[in-house]
Structures are given as C-alpha cells and as structure tokens.
Structure 1
Amino acid sequence: MNELKVTGLIAEREVIRYTPAGLPIVNAVLQHSSQQIEAGIARQTEFEIAAVAAGEISGRFSAAPLGGTYEFSGFLARRSRNSKSLVFHIIDFRAAPATQHLDTGA
C-alpha cells in the first residue's frame, strides 16, 4: 500500500497550470515539523516535501492560504519515469484542528 498522511503547511505554491490533456495541476512545497518518539527517545523531525495536486482538488488547493496548516493525504510517486526523486500526490486535505500546533521554528 502506498498511502501517506502528513500535517504541514503550504510553504510554496505555483500558479495552477494545465497539462496538454487539459488536467489542472498545481505544484507546491509542504513543510512539516513535529516531535516523534523513536526507540523510546523523543526526536524532532523537520522536512520539506515536493507536492502536486491534480484534477478537481487543484482548485481548492490553489485557493488555500499559503502558510496555512493542513492534514494532507495522498501517495508518493517518482517525479518522472526516469527520476529517483519523489513527489507527494495530494488526494485530499483539510484544515488541521485548531488545537494542533505546528512548530515551524519561526
């Protein structure tokens, strides 16, 4: 199974564009920061991940405020057929609960 759920903020986002087949698509960078427990030890985790929203969700994603914190769900795939780098394909997202605080180090 290839399913990923990430809580993070929209750090960067390109304008909506259309593929030659007419599919709307938006490229972005998501930022995550949290504390995880690994082998009984607290570990601070921070990363940025390339993301893409395609199809119907692209319009809603494009309208979401930059810097807004959301719960994203989707899957990972190669950026292109011959690429080794991964991109997070966003299938759905919703505003993160107000009680959840995302530490961005700012």
Structure 2
Amino acid sequence: MGVESAAANRLAITAALLEVGALRFTPAGVPAIDVLLSHRSAQVEAGQVRQVALQLKAVAFGTVAESLGRQPLGVDLDIQGFLTNTRNGKGVVLHVQDFKPI
C-alpha cells in the first residue's frame, strides 16, 4: 500500500497558543509536545456572517515540537498540519507539521 495524497487531509488555521505541555520523548526518542490552540474568526455561511470560536488539541513531533515549545503563550500562529483521531477515538487532534508566528 502506498502513502495517500497529503492533500486529502490538510488543515491550515490561524490560532493562539493557549496551553503548552512539557516536552516529552516518544519510545523511539523523538521529541513530542501537546498544545491547546484557540481560534476566533468571522466566517460567511449561507450569506450570513458567523462568529467562530473554538479550542483545538494539537501535537507536534521532532524539531517542530522543540520550536513550538519555545513559543510564548498567547502568540498567534499560522499552523499547517493534518487531523486524526485522539487515542480514545472521541475527538480529533491536529498534528502540527509547520507553523509561523504572526
């Protein structure tokens, strides 16, 4: 089986860094960090403006995890990654593959 197209599951979002967990390491020794993101925006839906506010759990690995862990709380970030289920399957988590402070 080959790798599916990365375009099939891509998320780009602007969000503030709300919480940052401690940098940890996977059993393979890869740095990992769990964060909580906060997003607010106005979106047009069916011709009406809708205020959107949400919190999103996210995780990063490797050098992205190390860099994300050094960001100050409250900083706005342009984030790119993909969504997958949480370990218990009762929600989604964003796997951060790249980010830039705004």
TM-score of the alignment, normalized to the shorter chain, above 0.5: yes
Q: Look up the match of 1:42.
A: 49
Residues 15-30 of structure 1: pairs in structure 2 closer than 5 A = 15-30=22-37
From 48, 62, 66, give the equivalent of 1:55: 62
What is the alpha-carbon distance in structure 2 between the residues aligned to residue 66 and residue 38 of structure 1? Answer: 31
Partner of 2:98: 92
Question: Which ranges of 4 or more aligned residues in structure 1 deviate by more than 6 Å?
Answer: none
Q: CA deviation at 1:95?
A: 1.6
Q: CA RMSD in A?
A: 0.9
Of 82, 86, 102, the match for 1:79: 86
Q: CA deviation at 1:31?
A: 0.2
Using the size of structure 2 for normalisation, the TM-score is 0.89
Unpaired runs of 5+ residues, structure 2, are 1-7
How many equivalent residue pairs? 95
Structure 1 unaligned regions, length at least 5: 97-106
Cα distance, 1:2 vs structure 2: 0.2
2:89 counterpart letter in structure 1: S
- What TM-score, normalized by structure 1, do the two folds share? 0.86
Identity, % of aligned pairs?
A: 37
SS of residue matched to 1:67: coil
Question: Which structure dedicates a bigger proportion of its chain to helix?
Answer: 2
